[in-house]
Structure 1
């Protein structure tokens, strides 16, 4: 009897334990189902929140741009005058686009430009000297902007510009820079011209490929005209290209760090945002079009072997670019990545609005352009330009003409008052070969000058 009682008790314990296990298991399944469901909902909610935030940011960008007053009001009013600026205009890096921006900024605020006393370059390829600058105009107390082509000499620059001057420049991937330099100056740089002649005797070989095969056989370092034929950006920086040693690296570091901003062409819009903060510019003043765009047949496609050879031949430019890129990335971090992204969005929206208002057609072949907006054409490449929209007010037309005005025309326009009367033939200024950059007696020039008035 007692034995049966213990068996019954043991059976009850087992049943109770089994029920307890089943209950815990069921509760676990229910809780897991609950949390998985709400986790999915939370994830979906998070994705929706992100999308909503992104949409909100885009709408905010559009709304902010839409709130701007008519962008031509930038010609009439501004809260701050920019500080004095020196822009080292490097070759084939996008520098003409930045120069146009500075031309417009300076002209609007009546800045005094430091122009070359002869031509539109400071006796390039000689290193810059203070004597290369034309005299300070009557009524001006200082030079405000210097942005014409030169080979850098910082000591001489400081003799010309005020102590509070901001120094800026722009660099580009050395591979793309060198391909562009070679295309643009094939007949101007003796080393490139020799390679071009040699390529005529070889089938299916571009002049660039022939040059890079044995560059030392074409390049004479003693010829000043070959300056851009190797490490062109370093040459513009005035660096010693014959000795890539520790002294060169020390000079590079000291020189680069004197610049308040080194813009990077591959991060052009980000560079403009940083420039805006540095010069306290209005957003509309950063509107731009890309200048000196080449036609497709003027661009040489590069395979990996050619790229490697370009890097090897321009190894000092690689050091300069890599070092400057790291400095640029530090400035981005200091500015704030999210803040920068937001401001880049605003810049692009604003610039797009202005381009739509101003530009009728882009990448227009030179023969289809009026002389007033036709870029200078080298013998070895075709440079495309822009046509301006019709049905614009006089003020709008003046703004839009300036936006697309090529370097030589804008340079000549700004130099008119400085150079007028220096030539009995009515030439305002002339280039290195004595050819007029601008002829005041020309009916067509008078027409576009009225548009700029």
Structure 2
């Protein structure tokens, strides 16, 4: 078999240890919310009467109360986690919500990705835990295959994803994965004595460095299209039909440039309150790792990622159609309330933001690449045990959160060596 590019694994093809001072709080401090009264208020408000609501006339058999919590309150959901779009922040929201409300997660059988960059297959998912009748949440990295995902998730599953301006996405993908994606690394090596950035060298003649047959080059051209399971190499006759299928399948495609508005629509879809979708921006690069592109480079990025531009423009239009159905003035007001809720929680939890990785303890240190510095947060001191558990989760990086889950009663298995 060909070699997998484990683009975030690094030191994490072995298990992550979470037995630090803060990690010991995680298993002891999380309240099961919302309360029964709050759920009843939501039902009375009619927020869970859509066709997406699980069939309450046939409750799952042999399901413990904790496992049933999610199914009573929310439909099952798939979040397609796209690369360098802000998706780690959304995933953290879902991890917190799912953990709090007893969701059964569809996790990869090995590490924290579904054999990326291979297309998703049902066989990549670990077994259903004892006492659960169905999976409620799937939000780990994968390359989408709708047919295979539907083999795993219930029929009434809600599908969501997140897209970002293709120029910003590609600049971020390049900066983050320069040393990992073969096409980018080749450009990086070619910069010697040229006095130009690796991105500039790559964009001058991308075809020189890009081999579409190399499995590790999936993100090197139209990365969002690649994650969405589309043909990311060139336009072909199937694209219009493929886009139509994605539009039909996805109940919400969030837009990173309208992040708060997107979260409001997500909350409306799942019956959540502002506090449920409050967030800290995770996996963000240090400012000096972000490259400002002039118009010439922007045009080159746009040209190389034409299919991502098409994908993004298409779903921006769909997004604003959904926003109009929600009510634009209502959306603006709800987004302002969400920002206020988020700011309040940030003030409660964060003592320092944009903390360099060298100043973070292992539990809160995001995974680093050779070419990008990923910043983190420092939690406030003097918090109650319960608040500390809550706040740590707000800033817990993706890999550490995956490893924290003990749903299967075992440590996260490493990927076998080739």
- TM-score, normalised relative to structure 1: 0.76
1:336 is aligned, of 327, 334, 350, to 327
1:270 matched to 2:261? The reply is: yes
Higher fraction of helix: 1
C-alpha contact 1:373 1:405 (8 A) present in aligned 2? yes
2:251 is aligned, of 260, 263, 266, to 260
Q: Which runs of 5+ in 1 are unaligned?
A: 1-71, 421-427, 435-453
1:200 is aligned, of 150, 175, 192, to 192
Per the TM alignment, residue 429 of structure 1 is displaced from its structure 2 partner at its CA by 1.8
SS in 2 for 1:429: coil
1:119 matched to 2:111? The reply is: yes
Tell me which residue corresponds to 1:228.
Answer: 219
Tell me which residue corresponds to 1:384.
Answer: 375
1:98 matched to 2:90? The reply is: yes
SS in 1 for 2:408: helix
Tell me which residue corresponds to 1:14.
Answer: none
1:286 is aligned, of 277, 300, 304, to 277
SS in 2 for 1:386: strand
Q: Which whole-Å CA distance do the structure 1 matches of 2:289 and 2:237 have between them? A: 38
C-alpha contact 2:222 2:233 (8 A) present in aligned 1? no
SS in 1 for 2:113: coil
Q: Which has the larger radius of gyration?
A: 1
**Superposed counterparts of 1:6-405, under 5 Å:** 75=33, 77=35, 78-79=38-39, 81-203=73-195, 205-405=196-396
Per the TM alignment, residue 246 of structure 1 is displaced from its structure 2 partner at its CA by 3.0
Per the TM alignment, residue 117 of structure 1 is displaced from its structure 2 partner at its CA by 0.3
- TM-score, normalised relative to structure 2: 0.83
Q: Which whole-Å CA distance do the structure 2 matches of 1:271 and 1:208 have between them? A: 30
SS in 2 for 1:418: coil
Q: Which whole-Å CA distance do the structure 1 matches of 2:139 and 2:288 have between them? A: 30
Per the TM alignment, residue 206 of structure 1 is displaced from its structure 2 partner at its CA by 0.2
1:138-185 deviations in whole A, cap 9, x for unaligned? 000000000000000000111100011100000000000000000110
Q: Which whole-Å CA distance do the structure 2 matches of 1:243 and 1:294 have between them? A: 30
Per the TM alignment, residue 433 of structure 1 is displaced from its structure 2 partner at its CA by 7.1
1:170-218 deviations in whole A, cap 9, x for unaligned? 0000000000000110011000000000012312x00000000000000
1:382-420 deviations in whole A, cap 9, x for unaligned? 000001011111110110010010000011111x24151
Tell me which residue corresponds to 2:11.
Answer: none
C-alpha contact 1:231 1:314 (8 A) present in aligned 2? yes
4+ residue stretches of structure 1 with deviation over 3 A? 72-76, 430-434
SS in 1 for 2:238: helix
Query: CA separation of 1:263/1:338 partners in 2, compared to 1, >3 Å: closer, same or farther?
Result: same
Q: Which runs of 5+ in 2 are unaligned?
A: 1-29, 43-72
Per the TM alignment, residue 297 of structure 1 is displaced from its structure 2 partner at its CA by 2.2
Structure number with greater CO (CA < 8 Å, separation at least 6) is: 2
Q: Which whole-Å CA distance do the structure 1 matches of 2:109 and 2:251 have between them? A: 27
C-alpha contact 1:74 1:285 (8 A) present in aligned 2? no
RMSD of equivalent CA atoms: 1.4
Q: Which whole-Å CA distance do the structure 1 matches of 2:34 and 2:226 have between them? A: 40
